[in-house]
Structure 1
């Protein structure tokens, strides 16, 4: 009877988790289900519950792909519809989650008529303001990741435009909002670093080809890239092997903003011991051409790894040998230069980093 009871409890727990959340789009996360004609005044949505599955506040527009705004043609990345948030407008959805787990939101956004648009993303008590001044993709849309830890069983997800523009309708377009559970990775006897292959990270939309921006940790207390911190002013890009060239596995990181785009992790080390930090440097096969340099840091030691990119994929491996001087060693990577795509001089790109490993050297030889 005890065994039957235990199995029943496990099945119920599994059912609860499954019903609580699945990785992928939120209910009506792509806004393809729209308001009724009676709930719209032109493109403006009327009524807090007019957009199915969402609660709206303020000046919210329901935008169809190809719609014109003056001389500008509004494009939607997936499907046919998106929403636009005007001054102080927001969209909100409540979602059942598992208390204590970490989650990452991924959403696509496009700047429209203001140069300094930004979005405030929050799941109480966590919140972060994501700047949108820098656009990284060629079509004007970028996907952003933002993470939180669930403190209650129901998360209230809010995306808010805090902007105050002369035109109240001037604000970012939002589309394709998804969620993914993040599982904290562990160090192993094969790698002191956690998530060195970057396989654990935010949800990547299967139908988009521009990757996901991971914001600086000053904007996000919980990194969407578990165990890594983006310690810079600009984001790094999380890329997948379905759309980019990746040195190993299915995921990697592209350092897209020069020295303003750094990624770091603090590892446990033994003072006096010798360690090898190995990693792969390459290009994403996204027309990012030219001379690139990845700088690697391990405590006070550093190395510069040059890579000549033809923008068609490929990579090289590198190693930084160092002697630990403290029980904790900060490992960091950044790109020396800014690089633009050869087929689009308005899109930032950079070297790819992957397969990062840290291991102690038993009998170090001179290198």
Structure 2
């Protein structure tokens, strides 16, 4: 993983809106463990815009502690001691110094509370995206999401806003563990015409979490948190790490958790009439995702279906798709034929893993006389 050194000291503007130096990892008080003063709270309700250290809030924001209940419902705090809940039209924001023109990815955890169709508006001007959080991919009660942006200015104002308006103003998603990572656009090489084929370049993964990071469809995000790849589907894909999952190659891979609604794609430069080999690994993440899996790989008009019998304990197989290019640009895509649920947890979506994707031109075999 590439990292940033400390770029600058903390500044205080005329409004005392703090601007923090950039570094890979949690934002300052990104896990909300630094609590507001008791005098700045009315029960759980945050009373002042700067009551939560390092943050500015607006609207109906609550400071929720682990184990807290709302009626008979336990409010799930994704990690640690506390989280914030964004009620009607509520938002939290923090500013930090970044490099103009650079790409960055935010990672944060979110849990739905009252409403079924909760959404989050994530923005760093002029980029923004509305992420739906109604689909729960894991049974933890929350998921971690990634969202990317390109810095147009040297100071990025990160804002997470709940655009919903519910009858109960307290209804809204819980937010916890907000982190950032700089993204370095990968390049094609002589060894691989695809960029980031091993998925090593991607969003920040929390070191002590076991549920991976969801990368939303490209319709929700102009800049992919998975450089060079597009999530070309209705559902998210999951970015997984070798520390917590079985990964065929390197430290990162993609788990296709939404069946045919969960697809990744990349457009590669090709030469018409040339023959190419698309090679890749298909496996399981060692997360009790069992059964007969099929990964469908596409290269332009050509396709191959790769079966994989998973015991849910890790492992993979290699596959290849040979094709002749019919255009100067060829769309490469992967999806899972079936939906899968974990055998030890029927509330958690899972699926086959794809990794180590390579595209190379090959010589046509000579015909026998």
Q: Report which stretch shifted further, 73-82 or 155-164.
A: 73-82
CA distance in 2, matches of 1:258, 1:135: 15
Deviations along 1:223-278, one digit per CA (max 9) or x if unpaired, are 00000000101100000000000001000000000010010000000000000000
Matched, 1:140 2:141: yes
Task: Give the C-alpha shift of residue 71 in structure 1.
Answer: 1.5
CA distance in 2, matches of 1:212, 1:291: 24
Structure 1 runs of 4+ with >4 Å offset: none
Q: What residue number does 2:177 align with? A: 176
Matched, 1:73 2:74: yes
Contact 1:110–1:140 at 8 Å: present in 2 too? Answer: yes
Q: What residue number does 2:56 align with? A: 55
Q: What residue number does 1:354 align with? A: 355
Larger helix share, 1 or 2: 1
Q: What residue number does 1:212 align with? A: 213
Q: What residue number does 2:111 align with? A: 110
Contact 1:17–1:98 at 8 Å: present in 2 too? Answer: no
Q: What residue number does 2:7 align with? A: 16
Q: What residue number does 1:64 align with? A: 65
- What's the TM-score once normalised by structure 1's chain length? 0.94
Q: Secondary structure at the match of 2:240?
A: strand
Task: Give the C-alpha shift of residue 15 in structure 1.
Answer: 6.0
RMSD: 1.4
Pair 1:192–1:80, CA change in 2 (3 A): same
CA distance in 2, matches of 1:74, 1:16: 37
Q: Number of aligned pairs?
A: 354
Contact 1:266–1:330 at 8 Å: present in 2 too? Answer: yes
Deviations along 1:63-112, one digit per CA (max 9) or x if unpaired, are 00010111211232221010000011000111110000000000001011
Q: What residue number does 1:266 align with? A: 267
Deviations along 1:297-353, one digit per CA (max 9) or x if unpaired, are 000000000111111110011000000001100000000111111111111110000
Contact 1:271–1:325 at 8 Å: present in 2 too? Answer: yes
Q: What residue number does 1:125 align with? A: 126
Give unpaired runs (5+ residues) of structure 2. 10-19
Contact 1:292–1:306 at 8 Å: present in 2 too? Answer: yes
Matched, 1:198 2:199: yes
Task: Give the C-alpha shift of residue 20 in structure 1.
Answer: 3.7
Q: What residue number does 1:327 align with? A: 328
For residues 213-232 of structure 1, the aligned pairs below 5 Å read 213-232=214-233
CA distance in 2, matches of 1:17, 1:256: 40
Q: What residue number does 1:92 align with? A: 93
CA distance in 2, matches of 1:174, 1:268: 40
Q: Secondary structure at the match of 1:16?
A: coil
Q: Secondary structure at the match of 2:129?
A: strand
Contact 2:199–2:355 at 8 Å: present in 1 too? Answer: yes
Contact 2:217–2:230 at 8 Å: present in 1 too? Answer: yes
Q: Secondary structure at the match of 2:220?
A: coil
Q: Report which stretch shifted further, 338-347 or 145-154.
A: 338-347
Give unpaired runs (5+ residues) of structure 1. 1-12
For residues 18-33 of structure 1, the aligned pairs below 5 Å read 20-33=21-34
Contact 2:277–2:323 at 8 Å: present in 1 too? Answer: yes
- What's the TM-score once normalised by structure 2's chain length? 0.94
CA distance in 2, matches of 1:272, 1:304: 23
Contact 2:128–2:221 at 8 Å: present in 1 too? Answer: yes
CA distance in 1, matches of 2:307, 2:84: 43
Q: What residue number does 2:168 align with? A: 167
